[in-house]
């Protein structure tokens, strides 16, 4: 087959653009098309449970509503993320925001009470509100439970959130579990530690594996959407190890494979560990997930809808 050249026309729909990328079929264009096609197939398969893992500043980077809607619409069955993304979801739920166009003089930013994540900014005043509000919620939770799993803690926090755009609230209402194995490495984790200095609340980090392994063994097929790498990526893949690995997976990452890090590892490498099945459908797209995932998701939803 030959490489066809991409045609762009006025008023193109997203799926038309995706299909044009598929007509080229090579490099990033081809990978984006194949990832879109695979995601549509995953969404359409009633036997497939979809795990979404989210690493990096996806909530500060504008992806909050996308993740929340995936939960509300029943597209994903499990969310695995960092404590930081949970923190930033809560920060907005408590009335805070993420900001842009504040400059790159970091010493000046510090003096102004601003923290920087690339070109995303946070305000220390918003974190002060976060600290007060999460402490109130933890006080309520600790009155009922002294020992809890990380997933159960996040689930209970969700019951106290009023913001309809919140990821955590949506997960609570739809009973979609959120796993955050690295929760201590975040501002939420710091607040949890500070809370336990004067209150009786203990997190059982191993307890989540009981529920997660049950989900894995009860699923006929498992598909993974991996945005970024790190602990969330490994947790999503390793959870299916005892069952022979995932059946399908899409990875969007900026990390490289040469250093041997898991974050940049090609998905095919997971087959050697039985974290992906032999013959599984795997697509890696190299690039910024805040650009690529909205494009791929929009195309996949159109593909799935047109395939009805």
Does the active-site annotation cover 275? yes
Q: How far apart are CA 80 and CA 245, in angstroms?
A: 17
Q: Return the half-sphere exposure (C-beta side, CA atoms, 13 A cut-off) of residue 61.
A: 19
Q: How far apart are CA 273 and CA 82, in angstroms?
A: 23
**Rounded-to-5 percentages of helix, strand, coil across the chain:** 50, 20, 30
Q: How far apart are CA 222 and CA 47, in angstroms?
A: 8
Q: How far apart are CA 119 and CA 40, in angstroms?
A: 32
Alpha carbon of 27 to those of 33, 114, 166, 243: distances in Å? 10, 39, 36, 32
Q: How far apart are CA 168 and CA 156, in angstroms?
A: 9
CB atoms within 10 A of CB 203: 19
Strand 120-123 with 114-117, pairing: antiparallel
Q: How far apart are CA 38 and CA 296, in angstroms?
A: 10
Catalytic residue among 37, 49, 169, 275: 275
Q: Return the half-sphere exposure (C-beta side, CA atoms, 13 A cut-off) of residue 169.
A: 15
Query: According to DSSP H, which parts of the chain are helical?
Result: 14-24, 27-44, 64-72, 83-93, 106-111, 124-144, 150-158, 167-174, 187-196, 207-218, 230-238, 289-306
Catalytic residue numbers, as ranges: 275
């Amino acid at each position: 087959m030959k490489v066809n050249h991409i045609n762009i026309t006025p008023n193109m729909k997203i799926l038309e653009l995706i299909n044009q990328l598929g007509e080229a079929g090579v490099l990033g264009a081809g990978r984006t098309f194949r990832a879109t096609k695979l995601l549509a197939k995953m969404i359409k398969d009633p036997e497939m449970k979809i795990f979404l893992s989210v690493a990096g500043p996806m909530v500060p980077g504008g992806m909050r509503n996308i993740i929340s809607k995936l939960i509300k619409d029943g597209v994903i069955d499990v969310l695995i993320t960092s404590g930081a993304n949970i923190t930033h979801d809560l920060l907005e739920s408590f009335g805070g925001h993420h900001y842009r166009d504040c400059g790159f003089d970091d010493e000046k930013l510090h003096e102004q009470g601003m923290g920087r994540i690339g070109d995303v900014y946070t305000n220390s005043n918003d974190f002060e509100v976060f600290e007060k509000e999460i402490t109130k919620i933890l006080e309520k939770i600790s009155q009922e439970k002294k020992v809890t799993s990380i997933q159960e803690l996040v689930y209970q926090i969700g019951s106290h959130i009023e913001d309809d755009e919140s990821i955590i609230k949506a997960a609570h209402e739809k009973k979609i579990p959120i796993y955050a194995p690295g929760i201590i490495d975040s501002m939420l984790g710091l607040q949890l530690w500070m809370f336990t200095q004067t209150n009786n609340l203990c997190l059982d980090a191993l307890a989540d594996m009981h529920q997660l392994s049950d989900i894995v063994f009860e699923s006929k097929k498992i598909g993974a959407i991996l945005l970024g790498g790190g602990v969330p990526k490994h947790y999503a893949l390793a959870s299916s190890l005892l069952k022979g690995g995932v059946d399908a997976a899409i990875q969007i990452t900026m990390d490289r494979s040469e250093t041997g890090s898991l974050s940049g590892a090609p998905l095919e490498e997971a087959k050697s560990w039985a974290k992906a099945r032999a013959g599984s459908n795997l697509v890696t797209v190299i690039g910024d997930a805040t650009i690529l995932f909205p494009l791929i998701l929009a195309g996949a939803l159109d593909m799935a809808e047109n395939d009805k």
